């Protein structure tokens, strides 16, 4: 299928269809995150594939950034490793292309801050992402008021645009953000940056309730989930569970033994997949 039509599944985008399929099974979806180029570009491609092999329904591929505002220490460490090795946007797109080719049914998103997209060129980035088989982007720092050029390009190419809401978002802001986004709404479970936590926190459930009151988009919760129990807890009130730092930690703990890291990722994804099924 072409990039322009490949994201469409019976009139819905691949991302929408995947979340709907999970809901039809009576469970939340599992969304895995890893930055591109970590621990190497080829190793990172294998790692993202391992997320899907382990049981993730969709994946986010991070574009490493030197000054992230949402990512905690674990993901910052991975980004730093990738950047020191010289990872570029073209490597991120190659990661998308190889993962999307190997798993044609799985939505492959890019999570990136706005500056790299702006520097690469809005229309060029959207076209290259679509050509690579990408399903869309998550843009945590792009204000919806300034998102017009990106949204136009994304709509033209069949890409979803996911915006982030936080516990501090007021209801009026939730309406504005969710009206502009597609695919799903990324609900940050806590006020702070990414990273594994002992408890997910009670702000997430209230945020999901408030977000659902203003939109029909699925609401997926990220930040802080790292184990099967937490995944089940979040799956009890959200449409999707997003996990990143727990996967990055498995690779970091494996040092230079990539195969051990990949096995760890598959093991963690399988446990989290059991969690989203137990909590639905």
Catalytic residue numbers read: 60, 71
Return phi, psi of residue 73, to 5°. Answer: -60, -40
Burial class (CB in 10 A: 0-12, 13-18, 19+), 159: buried
Structure tokens at 201: 């926190």
Three-state secondary structure call for residue 77: helix
What percent helix, strand, coil does the chain show, rounded to 5? 50, 15, 35
What whole-number distance in Å separates Cα of residue 134 and Cα of residue 180?
A: 19
Across the chain, how many H-helices and E-strands are there?
13, 11
């Amino acid at each position: 299928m072409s990039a322009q039509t490949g994201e469409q599944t019976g009139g819905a985008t691949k991302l929408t269809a995947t979340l709907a399929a999970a809901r039809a099974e009576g469970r939340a979806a599992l969304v895995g995150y890893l930055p591109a180029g970590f621990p190497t570009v080829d190793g990172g491609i294998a790692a993202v594939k391992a997320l899907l092999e382990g049981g993730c329904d969709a994946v986010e591929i991070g574009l490493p950034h030197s000054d992230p505002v949402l990512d905690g220490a674990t993901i910052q460490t991975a980004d730093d490793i990738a950047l020191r090795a010289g990872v570029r946007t073209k490597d991120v797109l190659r990661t998308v292309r190889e993962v999307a080719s190997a798993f044609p049914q799985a939505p492959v998103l890019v999570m990136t801050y706005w500056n790299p997209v702006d520097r690469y060129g809005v229309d060029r980035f959207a076209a290259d992402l679509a050509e690579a088989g990408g399903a869309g982007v998550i843009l945590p720092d792009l204000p919806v008021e300034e998102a017009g050029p990106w949204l136009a390009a994304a709509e033209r190419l069949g890409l979803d645009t996911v915006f982030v809401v936080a516990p501090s978002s007021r209801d009026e802001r939730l309406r504005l953000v969710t009206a502009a986004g597609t695919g799903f709404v990324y609900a940050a479970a806590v006020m702070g940056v990414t990273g594994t936590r002992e408890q997910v926190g009670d702000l997430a459930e209230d945020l999901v309730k408030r977000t659902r009151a203003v939109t029909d988009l699925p609401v997926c919760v990220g930040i802080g989930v790292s184990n099967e129990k937490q995944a089940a807890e979040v799956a009890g009130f959200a449409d999707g569970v997003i996990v990143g730092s727990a996967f990055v930690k498995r690779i970091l703990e494996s040092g230079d033994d990539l195969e051990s890291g990949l096995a760890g990722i598959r093991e963690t994804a399988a446990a989290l997949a059991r969690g989203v099924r137990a909590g639905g």
